[in-house]
Amino acid sequence: MPLDGAMLTQVKHELEGAIGSRVDRVTQPSREELILALRSRQGASRILISVNAGSPRIHFTQAAVENPKTPPMFCMLMRKLLGAAQFTAVRQVGMDRILELDFLATDDLGDPITYTLSAEIMGRHSNLIVRRPDGRIVDSLKRVDTSMSSLRPVLPGLTYTLPPSPAGRLELLTASPREILEKLRAEPRQIELSRRLQECLTGVSPLLCREIAFFTVRGAEKTAFELTADEEERFCFYLETLTDAMRRGACTPTMLLTPDGTPKDFSFTEIRQYGAAMQSRTYPTYGELLDAFYAEKDAADRMRQRSGDLQRLLGATHERILRRLDNQRRELAESTDREKYKIYGDLLAANLYQLKKGDREAKVQNYYEPDCPEVTIPLDVRLTPSQNVQRCYWEYRRRDTAEKKLREQIAAGEAELAYIESVTDLLDRAGSEADLTAIRRELSQEGYLKHYAFKGKKEERLAPLRFRSDDGFTILVGRNNVQNDRLTLRESRGNDIWFHTQKIPGSHVIVVTEGREVPDRTLEQAAILAATHSRASQSAKVPVDYTQVRYVKKPSGAKPGMVIYDPYQTAIVDPDKELAERLRVTEK
């Protein structure tokens, strides 16, 4: 669910606890996120403001976020404006999805000035706007010119205006339950109660409207006109209880999860409408709730933004290789009938005395067939009979040579395609800027990126991911193809156990045996880690091959990460991210 105005009131109560703090640091992890690090005598805190269309929000955060090495221009501006500024106030515009944060700072002349940050949490229209006390806009995370919106441009120097909001709607915290009930019945349309609530109230999500209706009519489908006296009482009781808790800041941060534990929705009150179809999990603070709900999505979004050029490069390269392979396979299919031209040459040579220049075809007996049937051979009228014979032999040799070359080129193309798919898989699973840098360097060394991109920059050697099995064995997982080669072919011993998904791009996984016999449980956990760190991480019943490292070889000239192995065994496992997280050894 989006962060609606009702839940934003609870987030505001939480943010009020930081009033009086001073800005310690400003960072911008991505182009649509800003983090304000605050410090006071009570301790440190961080406010995350995201205007990403898929996850707009504002709240305290404890998530560890990697920042770009070069801060964006908006971040530099915010550091200039808010350096050591004091957080003095936070307020909500009615029950709209807008929070305004005031910061007391000093201008270029050293005079005090209050800058206001307007966090507009409105889906694809979300924005963070910085303005002066006179209402003039200093800048915004998303600039909106007149070509994008003629009604409300957002540009430096313009006067800030509030976004337009639907007229005639009531606010949950200011209207009484009876007033809301009258508003629901103000129009004679027969519309389901939850939908009508959404039309009449501002700042409430469809989830909350459905919950109000569910409590009122106990899951039945009714309009506002069909409510009984008892149902009206339940309606008023629920709203009075809910609004009282909202005013006191006494609501409970709640996440809804599917039976398999996947986050589905969140709210500031208990949700009963799904019954046993959903699980509920409560959190101490709204910051922890929203961190947990958006953690995986945010990490993926940040990596997607930072790796956009690599995604486009790999996508274009993948398509180019596919087109080339398609043409080569078509040519190979055409060369399979090469023997026909050798037979044509032999038959024409045997009947050369019957041919003359200018003939369009030759009808001769095919001595290569049991019954010697007559065959018609097309001729080139411009050539002599001897030249036509040589033309047939030439066509045979050309197709024979083409088949050999094409088979080599197709094998090389398929290997290159597998390599590009492996890099794409690693890019999809990249979790840090260091991972992206390693992939860029690898692609540069392989000729897919310009080599001068890393001129003068020292290579940062990443350590493999480290896990410890329940039996105490160290399990190492490669983070890129170059590291896969180094881990398998240089750093592992011959009796260590090597794992890799069968014919599926993924990381090399090594169980460090230290001369000990590896129990089945550790083998299974290593296979699960190999499946989890592969393109098949969202699949089930994934085949994983494993063998001793001594049997893993790298063919001459093979791309990074490409190896062959024999003998081997195969395990069928299901990927398990929770197991991977539990076995992970945190780097200090």
Please report the pLDDT score of residue 451 as a whole number: 55
- Token pair for 303: 């990596």
Give the residue from 486, 496, 494, 500 showing the smallest Cα distance to 531. Answer: 500
Please report the pLDDT score of residue 587 as a whole number: 63
Tell me if residue 103 falls in helix, strand or coil.
strand
567 cis-preceded (ω within 30 degrees of 0): yes
Give the C-alpha separation, 418 to 244, whole Å: 60
Please report the pLDDT score of residue 15 as a whole number: 95
Give the C-alpha separation, 498 to 6, whole Å: 53
* Other Cβ atoms closer than 10 A to 454: 15
Give the residue from 80, 87, 82 showing the smallest Cα distance to 101. Answer: 87
Judge whether 403 and 386 are in contact, CB under 8 Å.
Answer: no
DSSP secondary structure string, 190-206? Answer: --BHHHHHHHHEES--H
pLDDT in tens for each of the 588 residues of the chain? 568 999 999 999 999 999 999 999 999 988 899 999 999 988 999 999 999 888 899 999 998 887 888 899 999 999 999 998 999 999 999 899 999 999 999 988 889 999 999 999 998 899 999 999 999 999 999 999 988 888 899 999 999 999 988 888 999 999 999 999 999 998 888 899 999 999 999 989 999 999 999 999 988 889 999 999 999 999 999 999 999 999 988 899 999 988 877 788 999 999 999 988 898 999 999 999 999 888 767 766 767 777 788 888 888 999 999 999 998 888 887 777 777 777 777 778 878 878 888 888 888 888 778 877 888 888 888 888 888 888 888 878 877 777 788 888 888 888 889 889 888 888 888 777 778 888 888 888 888 877 545 555 565 677 899 999 999 999 999 988 988 999 999 999 999 999 999 999 999 999 999 989 999 999 999 999 999 999 999 889 999 999 999 999 999 888 899 999 999 999 999 999 889 989 998 764
Decide the pairing of beta strands 201-202 and 170-171: parallel
* Rounded (5°) CA angle 578-581-585: 155
Cα separations (Å) of 332 from 286, 321, 481? 62, 16, 32
Please report the pLDDT score of residue 66 as a whole number: 76
Tell me if residue 102 falls in helix, strand or coil.
strand
Residues 6 or more apart whose Cβ sits within 8 Å of residue 535: 421, 425, 428, 501, 504, 505, 506
- Token pair for 567: 């003998």
Give the residue from 296, 216, 210, 252 showing the smallest Cα distance to 577. Answer: 296
Please report the pLDDT score of residue 401 as a whole number: 78
- Kindly tell me the sign of the dihedral angle through the C-alpha atoms of 412, 414, 417, 421: negative
Give the C-alpha separation, 211 to 209, whole Å: 5
Please report the pLDDT score of residue 452 as a whole number: 44
What is the residue whose two structure tokens read 């009947």?
Answer: 351
Give the residue from 295, 399, 387, 372 showing the smallest Cα distance to 63. Answer: 295
- Give bridge partners of residue 569 from the DSSP assignment: 546
